[in-house]
Amino acid sequence: MRKGATLHKLTGAGVLGIIRVQSSGDLLRIASALQKGGLNCLEITMTTPGALQAIEESRTHLSDVVMGAGTVLDAITARQAILAGAQFLVTPTVKLDVIEVAHRYGVPVIPGAMTPTEILTCWEAGADMVKVFPASVLGPGYIKAIHGPLPQIPLVPTGGITADNAADFIRAGAAMVCAGGWLVDKEAIAVGKYEVLTERAERLIQAVNEARKS
Protein backbone atom coordinates (compact mmCIF):
# COMPACT_ATOMS: atom_id res chain seq x y z
CA MET A 1 0.00 0.00 0.00
CA ARG A 2 1.34 3.39 -0.98
CA LYS A 3 1.88 6.11 1.61
CA GLY A 4 -1.02 8.21 0.37
CA ALA A 5 -3.41 5.28 0.53
CA THR A 6 -2.32 4.47 4.09
CA LEU A 7 -2.87 8.04 5.21
CA HIS A 8 -6.27 8.07 3.52
CA LYS A 9 -7.30 4.96 5.46
CA LEU A 10 -6.03 6.36 8.76
CA THR A 11 -7.78 9.69 8.48
CA GLY A 12 -10.88 8.09 7.02
CA ALA A 13 -11.15 5.71 9.96
CA GLY A 14 -10.81 8.50 12.50
CA VAL A 15 -9.73 6.00 15.15
CA LEU A 16 -6.38 4.30 15.74
CA GLY A 17 -6.30 1.45 18.24
CA ILE A 18 -3.17 1.02 20.35
CA ILE A 19 -2.25 -2.50 21.45
CA ARG A 20 0.12 -2.39 24.43
CA VAL A 21 0.29 -5.64 26.37
CA GLN A 22 2.84 -7.58 28.42
CA SER A 23 2.81 -10.71 26.28
CA SER A 24 2.71 -11.28 22.53
CA GLY A 25 0.50 -14.34 22.92
CA ASP A 26 -2.76 -12.40 22.81
CA LEU A 27 -1.82 -9.86 20.15
CA LEU A 28 -3.45 -11.54 17.18
CA ARG A 29 -6.64 -12.31 19.12
CA ILE A 30 -6.80 -8.72 20.34
CA ALA A 31 -6.32 -7.35 16.83
CA SER A 32 -8.98 -9.72 15.50
CA ALA A 33 -11.46 -8.66 18.20
CA LEU A 34 -10.89 -4.98 17.42
CA GLN A 35 -11.25 -5.57 13.71
CA LYS A 36 -14.52 -7.40 14.36
CA GLY A 37 -15.72 -4.18 15.98
CA GLY A 38 -14.90 -2.27 12.81
CA LEU A 39 -11.51 -0.93 13.84
CA ASN A 40 -9.20 -1.41 10.86
CA CYS A 41 -6.27 0.81 11.88
CA LEU A 42 -4.10 -0.61 14.66
CA GLU A 43 -0.75 0.07 16.27
CA ILE A 44 1.36 -2.49 18.12
CA THR A 45 3.74 -0.81 20.53
CA MET A 46 7.37 -1.78 20.39
CA THR A 47 7.40 -2.15 24.18
CA THR A 48 5.41 -5.39 23.74
CA PRO A 49 7.56 -8.56 23.69
CA GLY A 50 7.51 -10.09 20.21
CA ALA A 51 6.11 -6.94 18.65
CA LEU A 52 7.94 -7.38 15.34
CA GLN A 53 6.71 -10.95 14.94
CA ALA A 54 3.20 -9.82 15.85
CA ILE A 55 3.28 -7.18 13.13
CA GLU A 56 4.36 -9.79 10.60
CA GLU A 57 1.63 -12.22 11.67
CA SER A 58 -1.03 -9.52 11.71
CA ARG A 59 -0.15 -8.47 8.19
CA THR A 60 -0.53 -12.11 7.10
CA HIS A 61 -3.75 -12.97 8.91
CA LEU A 62 -5.50 -9.57 8.99
CA SER A 63 -4.99 -8.31 5.47
CA ASP A 64 -7.68 -5.64 5.76
CA VAL A 65 -6.05 -4.00 8.77
CA VAL A 66 -3.62 -1.10 8.44
CA MET A 67 -0.96 -2.14 10.95
CA GLY A 68 1.66 0.20 12.37
CA ALA A 69 4.36 0.24 15.02
CA GLY A 70 4.11 2.48 18.07
CA THR A 71 6.50 3.71 20.76
CA VAL A 72 9.28 3.83 18.17
CA LEU A 73 12.18 5.52 19.93
CA ASP A 74 15.04 5.39 17.43
CA ALA A 75 15.99 4.93 13.80
CA ILE A 76 17.08 1.30 14.24
CA THR A 77 13.72 0.28 15.68
CA ALA A 78 11.96 2.26 12.97
CA ARG A 79 13.74 0.35 10.22
CA GLN A 80 13.15 -3.01 11.90
CA ALA A 81 9.44 -2.25 12.21
CA ILE A 82 9.14 -1.24 8.57
CA LEU A 83 10.96 -4.37 7.41
CA ALA A 84 8.59 -6.43 9.58
CA GLY A 85 5.68 -4.92 7.69
CA ALA A 86 4.68 -1.85 9.69
CA GLN A 87 2.68 0.47 7.42
CA PHE A 88 3.16 3.55 9.60
CA LEU A 89 5.22 4.63 12.61
CA VAL A 90 4.20 6.40 15.82
CA THR A 91 6.55 7.90 18.41
CA PRO A 92 5.82 9.15 21.94
CA THR A 93 8.15 12.14 21.58
CA VAL A 94 9.86 14.32 18.97
CA LYS A 95 12.22 11.88 17.24
CA LEU A 96 13.65 13.45 14.11
CA ASP A 97 15.68 10.36 13.20
CA VAL A 98 12.51 8.27 13.11
CA ILE A 99 10.86 10.82 10.82
CA GLU A 100 13.91 10.61 8.54
CA VAL A 101 13.73 6.81 8.32
CA ALA A 102 10.01 6.91 7.63
CA HIS A 103 10.64 9.30 4.73
CA ARG A 104 13.43 7.11 3.41
CA TYR A 105 11.07 4.13 3.17
CA GLY A 106 7.96 6.05 2.15
CA VAL A 107 6.02 5.25 5.31
CA PRO A 108 3.70 7.68 7.16
CA VAL A 109 4.97 8.86 10.53
CA ILE A 110 3.04 10.32 13.47
CA PRO A 111 5.50 11.67 16.06
CA GLY A 112 4.37 12.65 19.53
CA ALA A 113 4.51 16.19 20.83
CA MET A 114 2.95 18.38 23.50
CA THR A 115 3.87 22.04 23.16
CA PRO A 116 3.15 24.26 20.14
CA THR A 117 6.88 24.43 19.43
CA GLU A 118 7.24 20.65 19.49
CA ILE A 119 4.17 20.22 17.29
CA LEU A 120 5.46 22.68 14.71
CA THR A 121 8.95 21.16 14.85
CA CYS A 122 7.51 17.74 13.99
CA TRP A 123 5.45 19.17 11.15
CA GLU A 124 8.36 21.10 9.65
CA ALA A 125 10.53 17.96 9.88
CA GLY A 126 8.02 16.12 7.71
CA ALA A 127 5.47 14.52 10.05
CA ASP A 128 2.29 13.41 8.31
CA MET A 129 0.25 13.97 11.47
CA VAL A 130 1.27 14.90 15.00
CA LYS A 131 0.24 12.93 18.06
CA VAL A 132 -0.68 15.26 20.92
CA PHE A 133 0.13 13.54 24.20
CA PRO A 134 -1.08 13.27 26.94
CA ALA A 135 -4.59 14.18 25.79
CA SER A 136 -6.13 13.23 29.13
CA VAL A 137 -4.15 15.99 30.81
CA LEU A 138 -4.40 18.60 28.05
CA GLY A 139 -8.09 18.14 27.17
CA PRO A 140 -10.14 19.04 24.06
CA GLY A 141 -9.71 22.75 24.77
CA TYR A 142 -5.99 22.41 24.15
CA ILE A 143 -6.57 20.80 20.77
CA LYS A 144 -8.91 23.64 19.83
CA ALA A 145 -6.38 26.23 20.97
CA ILE A 146 -3.54 24.66 18.95
CA HIS A 147 -5.76 24.12 15.92
CA GLY A 148 -6.45 27.87 15.79
CA PRO A 149 -2.95 29.14 14.86
CA LEU A 150 -1.83 25.83 13.30
CA PRO A 151 -4.85 24.63 11.30
CA GLN A 152 -2.64 23.00 8.65
CA ILE A 153 -1.34 20.38 11.09
CA PRO A 154 -3.47 17.24 11.54
CA LEU A 155 -3.58 16.63 15.30
CA VAL A 156 -4.07 13.20 16.84
CA PRO A 157 -4.86 13.34 20.58
CA THR A 158 -3.65 10.28 22.47
CA GLY A 159 -3.90 9.21 26.10
CA GLY A 160 -7.10 8.64 28.03
CA ILE A 161 -9.34 8.53 24.95
CA THR A 162 -12.65 6.70 25.45
CA ALA A 163 -16.01 6.50 23.72
CA ASP A 164 -17.23 9.12 26.20
CA ASN A 165 -14.72 11.86 25.31
CA ALA A 166 -13.61 11.06 21.75
CA ALA A 167 -16.35 13.19 20.21
CA ASP A 168 -15.17 16.25 22.17
CA PHE A 169 -11.69 15.93 20.70
CA ILE A 170 -13.04 15.49 17.16
CA ARG A 171 -15.27 18.55 17.51
CA ALA A 172 -12.26 20.47 18.84
CA GLY A 173 -10.47 19.87 15.52
CA ALA A 174 -8.65 16.55 15.91
CA ALA A 175 -7.99 14.72 12.64
CA MET A 176 -8.40 11.40 14.44
CA VAL A 177 -8.01 9.92 17.92
CA CYS A 178 -5.84 7.15 19.37
CA ALA A 179 -7.21 4.85 22.07
CA GLY A 180 -5.30 2.24 24.02
CA GLY A 181 -5.84 1.47 27.70
CA TRP A 182 -9.62 1.87 27.68
CA LEU A 183 -10.02 0.10 24.36
CA VAL A 184 -7.75 -2.88 25.06
CA ASP A 185 -9.14 -3.70 28.50
CA LYS A 186 -6.59 -5.82 30.38
CA GLU A 187 -9.13 -7.32 32.77
CA ALA A 188 -11.31 -8.48 29.88
CA ILE A 189 -8.28 -10.01 28.14
CA ALA A 190 -7.20 -11.78 31.33
CA VAL A 191 -10.48 -13.70 31.46
CA GLY A 192 -10.77 -14.20 27.71
CA LYS A 193 -13.67 -11.80 27.17
CA TYR A 194 -12.50 -10.47 23.82
CA GLU A 195 -16.06 -9.46 22.96
CA VAL A 196 -15.56 -6.53 25.36
CA LEU A 197 -12.88 -5.18 23.02
CA THR A 198 -15.18 -5.62 20.03
CA GLU A 199 -17.98 -3.74 21.77
CA ARG A 200 -15.69 -0.88 22.81
CA ALA A 201 -14.33 -0.56 19.29
CA GLU A 202 -17.89 -0.26 17.98
CA ARG A 203 -18.78 2.40 20.55
CA LEU A 204 -15.63 4.42 19.87
CA ILE A 205 -16.11 4.38 16.10
CA GLN A 206 -19.74 5.38 16.48
CA ALA A 207 -18.80 8.32 18.72
CA VAL A 208 -16.22 9.59 16.22
CA ASN A 209 -18.53 9.19 13.22
CA GLU A 210 -21.38 11.03 14.94
CA ALA A 211 -19.03 13.86 15.97
CA ARG A 212 -17.81 14.23 12.40
CA LYS A 213 -21.38 14.67 11.19
CA SER A 214 -22.21 17.36 13.76
What pTM value is reported for the model? Answer: 0.95
199: pLDDT confidence band, cut at 50, 70 and 90?
very high
Mean pLDDT, residues 129-150 taken together = 97
Q: Which of 131, 186, 187, 213 is catalytic?
A: 131
For residues 28 and 50, what is the distance between their CA atoms, to the nearest angstrom? 11
For residues 56 and 86, what is the distance between their CA atoms, to the nearest angstrom? 8
Question: pLDDT by residue (tens digit) across 87-138?
Answer: 999 999 999 999 999 999 999 999 999 999 999 999 999 999 999 999 999 9
Asked whether the predicted pLDDT for residue 1 surpasses 80, the reply is: no
Give catalytic status of residue 95 as yes or no: no
For residues 176 and 92, what is the distance between their CA atoms, to the nearest angstrom? 16
CB 156, CB 131: distance < 8 Å? yes
The total number of structural domains that make up the chain: 1
CB 109, CB 126: distance < 8 Å? yes
Domain at 129, CATH number: 3.20.20.70
Task: Please count the other Cβ atoms lying within 10 Å of the Cβ belonging to residue 118.
Answer: 16
pLDDT at position 24 is: 66
CB 129, CB 110: distance < 8 Å? yes
CA angle 111, 112, 116 (to 5 degrees): 110
Give catalytic status of residue 43 as yes or no: yes
Which of 54-63, 127-136, 153-162, 170-179 is least confident? Answer: 54-63
147: pLDDT confidence band, cut at 50, 70 and 90?
very high
Helix residue ranges, H only, the chain: 3-13, 27-36, 51-61, 75-83, 96-105, 116-125, 135-138, 140-147, 166-171, 186-190, 195-213
26: pLDDT confidence band, cut at 50, 70 and 90?
confident
For residues 15 and 21, what is the distance between their CA atoms, to the nearest angstrom? 19
Q: Kindly tell me the burial class for residue 186, based on how many C-beta atoms sit within 10 Å of its own C-beta (0-12, 13-18, 19 or more).
A: exposed
Q: Which of 9, 36, 43, 193 is catalytic?
A: 43
pLDDT at position 4 is: 94
Mean pLDDT of the chain, nearest integer: 95
62: pLDDT confidence band, cut at 50, 70 and 90?
confident
CB 71, CB 44: distance < 8 Å? no
Domain ranges, residue 33:
3-213
For residues 208 and 212, what is the distance between their CA atoms, to the nearest angstrom? 6
